Amino acid sequence: NAGVTQTPKFRVLKTGQSMTLLCAQDMNHEYMYWYRQDPGMGLRLIHYSVGEGTTAKGEVPDGYNVSRLKKQNFLLGLESAAPSQTSVYFCASVSYTEAFFGQGTRLTVV
């Protein structure tokens, strides 16, 4: 997945803790997305951004916040983690001709 770096790859949080996931791309893409993937549910959109300084809610935004202060970085924040947020998180960076995904973050909230 050249050009998209997602960090961290793994994390275990206690209920109520906070964390930030980073998605970084160096392809000058305008569109970036955060998804969660759960067994039997497929990929569900959390938040997305159509350009620097803009964000919008997706299908499952509750409990998450995002920021796109710089075009190359899209951050996903969990302010107070809950066990229901245990999932694998993927970011995507998209242009009109290509789409790249991060390697995923496996998050466990205990």
Catalog residues that contact another protein under the rule CB under 8 A: 1, 31, 33, 35, 40-45, 48, 50, 56, 58, 90, 92, 94, 96-104
Nearer to another protein (CB atom), residue 3 or residue 77:
3
Burial class (CB in 10 A: 0-12, 13-18, 19+), 9: exposed
Shortest distance, CB of residue 16 to another protein, whole angstroms? 28
Nearer to another protein (CB atom), residue 33 or residue 85:
33
Contacts of 83 (CB under 8 A, 6+ apart): 15, 109, 110
Shortest distance, CB of residue 98 to another protein, whole angstroms? 6
Nearer to another protein (CB atom), residue 54 or residue 80:
54
Shortest distance, CB of residue 18 to another protein, whole angstroms? 25
Q: Which whole-number Å values give the CA distances from 44 to 17, 58, 79, in the listed order?
A: 23, 8, 20
Q: Which whole-number Å values give the CA distances from 70 to 21, 28, 93, 108, 109, in the listed order?
A: 15, 11, 14, 28, 29
Shortest distance, CB of residue 28 to another protein, whole angstroms? 17
Nearer to another protein (CB atom), residue 14 or residue 62:
62
Distance of CA 86 to the CA centre of its chain: 13
